[in-house]
Amino acid sequence: MRRMAIVQGENAIVVEPDVVITTLLGSCVAACLYDPVAKVGGMNHFLLGEPSADHRVSAGDMQRYGIHAMELLINGMMKKGAMRTRLRAHIYGGANIVSGLGSIGSSNAAFAHRFMQTEGIEVAHSDVGGTSARKIEFLPQEGRSRCTKVADRVPDRPPVPVALPPVGGDLELF
């Protein structure tokens, strides 16, 4: 099975069988969309939902916003045979990992759900919020996904010393 990894600001659209699209999310959100009839699917990964009304965004920075990422993903899928009315969605991410950044993750997740509702796209599955990062694996042709939460932090365990083999024999090092 071929794996395609995407990062923030990217999307991938697949029509071939045996492909898995993967990403790692914190406060970002990934929308996994698929058309069960056309067997077309894709995933995006965005940093923020949409810019505020008073914030000017350059064309190059638009890729960081969900409003742009969603349109790119949907339009790209339609070019490959998907129909907007048949799309189904899985939404992941939106964790509030860094306490000093407020509720960016929650805002991102709310944007994704609001977008799907406005566009009439059924959300088949959603795993958003909390404080854990997530690893997402999406099989676009089948519309199946796996979300694995990454531990909030490394457990507090003292390091375990490694036992060294006993020194012996007739070899002398100098």
User: pTM for this one?
Assistant: 0.81
**Half-sphere CA count of 94, side-chain side, radius 13 A:** 19
- Establish whether 147 is a catalytic residue: no
pLDDT score for 150:
87
Res. 152: pLDDT tops 60: no
Query: What is the percent of the chain where pLDDT is above 90?
Result: 58
Contacts (Cβ under 8 Å, ≥6 apart) of 133:
24, 25, 26, 95, 97, 149, 150
Contacts for 12 with CB less than 8 Å, ≥ 6 apart = 4, 6, 21, 42, 43
The domain segmentation of the chain, as residue ranges, is 2-149
For residue 98, pLDDT beyond 80 = no
Q: What is the pLDDT of residues 99-138, one digit of tens each?
A: 666 688 888 999 999 999 999 999 999 999 988 999 999 9
Kindly state the average pLDDT of the residues 83-94: 96
CB 87 within 8 A of CB 77: yes
Task: Return mean pLDDT, the chain.
Answer: 85
pLDDT (0 to 100) of residue 104:
85
CATH 3.30.1330.200 fits 2-149, yes or no: yes
Using alpha carbons only, give the angle 17, 146, 43 rounded to the nearest 5 degrees.
Answer: 60
Per annotation, catalytic residue among 6, 24, 28, 109: 28
pLDDT of 42 reads 97
Checking if the pLDDT of 94 tops 70, the result is yes
Three-point CA angle 63, 68, 72, nearest 5°:
95
Instruction: Tell me the DSSP string of 28-94.
Output: SEEEEEEETTTTEEEEEEESBS---TT----GGGGGGBHHHHHHHHHHHHHHTT--GGG-EEEEEE-
Give pLDDT, residue 96: 86
Distance, in Å, from the CA atom of 108 to the CA atom of 53, rounded to the nearest integer, reads: 16
What is the average per-residue pLDDT within 31-45?
A: 96
